[in-house]
């Protein structure tokens, strides 16, 4: 059960905040996250933010294919 969309945290006030999903802004419940700040990218499922997305890890994953291609040569 996985439909969750990434978005950028635009506002944060205690338990609730607003996340911008590529132009669509929606109120989100942040009670499942311990630390989160405006500007973070979060994954939102059924109205709740479930995790913060790590940019460095994202870049690492994107570079994997280049690494594998190099290893195969």
Partner 1 sequence: MVDHKPDKAERPARGLSVDEGSGGSAMMKLISEVILSNVTRYGCGGVTLRELDDSGSIVVGDLEIVLTTDAHTIKPIFFPGGDIGSLAASGTLNDVSVMGVKPRAISFSMVVEEGFSKDDLSRIVRSFNGVLEEVGVDLITGDTKVLEKGDIDGVVVTTSAIGVTQKGRIVRDSGIRPGDIIIISGSVGDHGISILSVREGFDFQLETKSDVGPIWEVVEAALEAAGTEGVRAMKDPTRGGLSNALNELAEKSGVGMEVREEEIPIRQDIASAAEMLGVDPLSVTNEGKAIIAVDPELSDDVLAALRRTRRGRDAAIIGRAVADHVGEVVMETKVGGKRLLERPIGDPAPRIC
Partner 2 sequence: MDLSRFQDRSLVQRAAQVLRKLAPDEELRFMHVCGTHENTITRYGIRSMIPDSIRVIPGPGCPVCVTSTSEIDQAIEIASRGTTVYTYGDMFGVPGTRSSLKQARAQGARVRVVYSLSDAIKISRESEEPGVFFAIGFETTAPTTASAVLSGVPEGFSFLVAHRLIPPALTSLLDMGRIELDGLICPGHVSTIIGANAYRVFAEKYGIPVAISGFEPLDVILSLVDLVRQHKDGAPRVFNEYSRCVRPEGNRRALEMMSEVFEVRDAEWRGIGTLPMSGLGLRDGYADLDAARIYRVKTNSRQSMPPGCRCSEVLLGTCSPTECPLFGSACTPARPVGPCMVSGEGTCRIWFQYGGYQKW
Instruction: Give the one residue of 16, 27, 55, 67 binding partner 1; rule: CB under 8 A.
Output: 27
Strands (E), the chain: 5-13, 16-21, 24-29, 41-45, 48-52
Q: State which of positions 37-66 bind partner 1 (CB under 8 A).
A: 45-46
Instruction: Give the one residue of 14, 15, 22, 66 binding partner 1; rule: CB under 8 A.
Output: 22
Q: CA-CA distance, 38 to 40, in Å (whole number)? A: 6
Residue 31 contact, options partner 2, partner 1, none, Cβ 5-8 Å cut-off depending on partner type: partner 2
Instruction: Give the one residue of 10, 11, 26, 61 binding partner 1; rule: CB under 8 A.
Output: 26
Give CA angle at 10 (55, 53), nearest 5°.
Answer: 20
């Amino acid at each position: 059960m996985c439909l969750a969309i990434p978005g950028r945290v635009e506002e944060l006030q205690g338990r609730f905040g607003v996340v911008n999903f590529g132009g669509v802004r929606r109120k989100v419940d942040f009670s499942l996250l311990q630390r989160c700040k405006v500007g973070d990218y979060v994954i939102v499922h059924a109205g709740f933010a479930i995790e913060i997305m790590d940019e460095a890890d994202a870049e690492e994953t994107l570079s994997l294919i280049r690494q594998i291609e190099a290893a195969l040569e």
